[in-house]
Structure 1
Amino acid sequence: MKKALRLTKNLEFINVYKSGRRISSPFFVMYIKKNDLGYSRLGVSVSKKVGKSVVRNKIKRQIKEIIRKNYDFINSGWDIVFSVKPAAVQLNYAQIEKEIISLLKRGRIYNDKKAFNLVNIVL
């Protein structure tokens, strides 16, 4: 994922936490806030309660890959932060992907109608 598409500064994370909407599941908490950039940015926050650095980095890599694969279906102009709960360690990649997409849909920022339109263009 390109650096321009990520939240990198602590101030950016705090801004999304304080003034964004919060949507939670048993494994993740998603914070979303509208931005004026014309593209969406992602941030991932994993506490030390989740596990050692290898486990934390693995979950971050998986979430970033899921967002990268589904980036075209996410509406433009949003700052998105995923906070990982300790229970997420027991999930495999497919389960994490299902949870992330479910949260994006609940936040009304995931548009899978684009996938339908792309299929019609190809046919």
Structure 2
Amino acid sequence: MHPSLSVIRKRSDFLAANRGLRVARPGFVLLANPNGGKGKRFGITVTKKIGNAVVRNRMKRRFRELLWAALPEQGLPDHDHILIGREGGVERDFATLKDELSAALARASEGKGDRPRPPRHQRSRRA
């Protein structure tokens, strides 16, 4: 691993990143959020919707390699970078994923994210 990168492990950091920029690509969604001077950090999320443990772990290994290669040069300084695996991301060609990540990081560095997702559910308020 690159010395300037650290791994995000706390749920609160993942939830905080969800408030940042979101750039969707066919194989993954990139979240980028300022972290207040903690350096370049990354995290990976692959839900059980994607497949069994073997498939999910393979996807995480591929994402880890992509991030190690791309973040030191292309990553946003003092930002958290989260990759969320999408259906079909495992079958995608590694070179294609690499190009998509470069494009997504470039878009995030320009401050151009995709529109935010609507909230999943609203809690009813009692009067």
TM-score past 0.5 threshold: yes
Distance 1:82 1:75 in 2: 14
Q: Which SS does the other structure have where 2:44 is aligned?
A: strand
Q: Which SS does the other structure have where 2:88 is aligned?
A: helix
Structure 1: runs of 5 or more not aligned: 110-123
Structure 2: runs of 5 or more not aligned: 111-127
Write out the 4+ residue segments of structure 1 that deviate beyond 4 Å after TM superposition: none
TM-score, normalization by structure 1: 0.78
Distance 2:55 2:21 in 1: 27
Any idea what the Cα deviations from partners look like across 1:12-70, whole Å, max 9, x if unmatched? Answer: 101111x2111112221111101122511001100111111111111111111111122
How many residue pairs align between the two structures?
108
Amino acid at match of 1:97: K
Distance 1:6 1:60 in 2: 13
Could you say which residue in structure 2 is the equivalent of 1:29? Answer: 29
Question: 1:10 and 2:47 equivalent?
Answer: no
Correspondences of 1:91-106 after superposition (within 5 Å): 91-106=92-107
More helix by share: 1
Distance 1:106 1:54 in 2: 31
Q: Which SS does the other structure have where 2:45 is aligned?
A: strand
Aligned identity (percent) is: 26
Amino acid at match of 1:6: V
Could you say which residue in structure 1 is the equivalent of 2:53? Answer: 53
